[in-house]
Amino acid sequence: GAVVSQHPSRVICKSGTSVKIECRSLDFQATTMFWYRQFPKQSLMLMATSNEGSKATYEQGVEKDKFLINHASLTLSTLTVTSAHPEDSSFYICSAIRGNEQFFGPGTRLTVL
């Protein structure tokens, strides 16, 4: 069964609004989670590493003030897309490691109108 959940699975919002996406590890603790973005028919691009109890580490080119990450507990990381624009429309996927395996969440499809 699923070991990482994401909510919501799909969201449509207006330009300028903020959207929060939750990533939860189910039945295990994840001190580190990862946030990826995937555009249609393209690969996954790592956006940031979410660290429980400390600041997230962002990849080069990812605006930390636009993509706010909060890892407040050992089972929950949130990604907030602030002041969303149409170009932020994408598939956002989180992942967490359990043992030696990386488990991906089901993804959140964001559409910004």
Partner 1 sequence: GQQVMQIPQYQHVQEGEDFTTYCNSSTTLSNIQWYKQRPGGHPVFLIQLVKSGEVKKQKRLTFQFGEAKKNSSLHITATQTTDVGTYFCAGPDGGGTSYGKLTFGQGTILTVHP
Give the separation between CA 68 and CA 36, rounded to whole angstroms: 13
- Tell me which stretch binds partner 1 (CB under 8 A): 20-28, 44-52, 65-73, 77-85: 44-52
**Of 25, 56, 90, 105, which one interacts with partner 1 (CB under 8 A)?**
105
Give the separation between CA 108 and CA 69, rounded to whole angstroms: 15
Give the separation between CA 72 and CA 15, rounded to whole angstroms: 27
**Of 44, 62, 68, 74, which one interacts with partner 1 (CB under 8 A)?**
44
> Smallest gap, in angstroms, from Cβ of residue 88 to partner 1?
19
**Of 46, 68, 74, 76, which one interacts with partner 1 (CB under 8 A)?**
46
* Per rule CB under 8 A, count of chain residues that contact partner 1: 20
Residue 104 in contact with partner 1, rule: CB under 8 A: yes
- Binders in 14-33 for partner 1, by CB under 8 A: 32
Residue positions counted in the chain:
113
Three-state SS at 59: coil
Give the separation between CA 44 and CA 87, rounded to whole angstroms: 16
